[in-house]
Amino acid sequence: MNLSSKIYIPGHTGMVGSAILRCLQEKGYTKFLLRTIEELDLMRQADVEDFFKQERPEYVIDAAAKVGGIEANNTYRAQFIYENLTIQNNLIHSSYKYGIKKLLFLGSSCIYPRLAPQPLKEEYLLTGELEPTNEPYAIAKIAGIKMCESYNRQYGCNFFSVMPTNLFGPNDNYNLETSHVLPALIRKIHLARCLENGDWPAIRQDLDKRPIEGITGSASEEEIIGMLDKYGIELNAEMQECRNAGMKNSAESQSNHFTISPFHQFTRSPVTVTLWGTGNVYREFMHVDDMASACVKILEDYDVSGFRFQVSGSEVDDSHLTSHDSPPSFLNIGTGVDSTIRELAELIRSIVGFQGKIEWDATKPDGTPKKLLDVSRLKETGFVPAYTLEEGIRRVYEGYKG
Using DSSP's 3-state secondary structure scheme, residue 231 falls into coil
Q: Which residues are catalytic?
A: 137
CB 102 within 8 A of CB 299: yes
Which regions of the chain are under pLDDT 70?
237-269, 305-328
Within 13 Å, how many C-alpha atoms sit on residue 54's CB side?
8
Give residue-wise pLDDT tens across range 359-382. 999 999 888 889 999 999 999 889
* Residue 395 buriedness (CB in 10 A; 0-12 / 13-18 / 19+): middle
- Return the pLDDT at 127: 95
Cα–Cα distance, 315 to 97 (Å, whole number): 30
Single-letter amino acid code for the residue at 141: K
- Return the pLDDT at 245: 56
Cα–Cα distance, 224 to 257 (Å, whole number): 13
- Return the pLDDT at 252: 52
Q: What is the DSSP string of 281-335?
A: SEEEEEEHHHHHHHHHHHHHHEEGGGTEEEETTEE---TTS-SSSPPPSEEEES-
- Return the pLDDT at 67: 87
Query: How many secondary structure helices (H) and strands (E) does the chain include?
Result: 13, 16
- Return the pLDDT at 308: 47
Cα–Cα distance, 380 to 346 (Å, whole number): 33
Q: Enumerate the H helices of 56-163 as residue ranges.
A: 70-75, 77-97, 135-155
Using DSSP's 3-state secondary structure scheme, residue 147 falls into helix
The pTM assigned to this predicted structure is 0.87
- Locate the domains of the chain by residue range: 7-171+284-337+372-387
- Return the pLDDT at 238: 62
* Residue 245 buriedness (CB in 10 A; 0-12 / 13-18 / 19+): exposed
- Return the pLDDT at 323: 36
Cβ of 99: how many Cβ atoms within 10 Å? 12
For 7-171+284-337+372-387, CATH number?
3.40.50.720
- Return the pLDDT at 391: 98
How far CA 187 is from CA of 174, 193, 231, 309, 354, in Å, comes to: 7, 10, 11, 40, 12
Cα–Cα distance, 15 to 354 (Å, whole number): 26
Cα–Cα distance, 187 to 148 (Å, whole number): 37
Cα–Cα distance, 176 to 230 (Å, whole number): 11
Q: Which residues of 286-318 are buried (b: 16+ CB within 10 A; e: fewer)?
A: bbbbbbbbbbbbbbeebebeeebbeeeeeeeee
Using DSSP's 3-state secondary structure scheme, residue 279 falls into coil
CB 19 within 8 A of CB 289: yes
Q: Which residues of 38-73 are buried (b: 16+ CB within 10 A; e: fewer)?
A: eebebeeeeebeebbeeeebbbbbbbbbbbbbbbbb
- Return the pLDDT at 6: 98
- Return the pLDDT at 328: 61
How far CA 243 is from CA of 215, 240, 255, 257, 258, in Å, comes to: 21, 5, 14, 11, 8
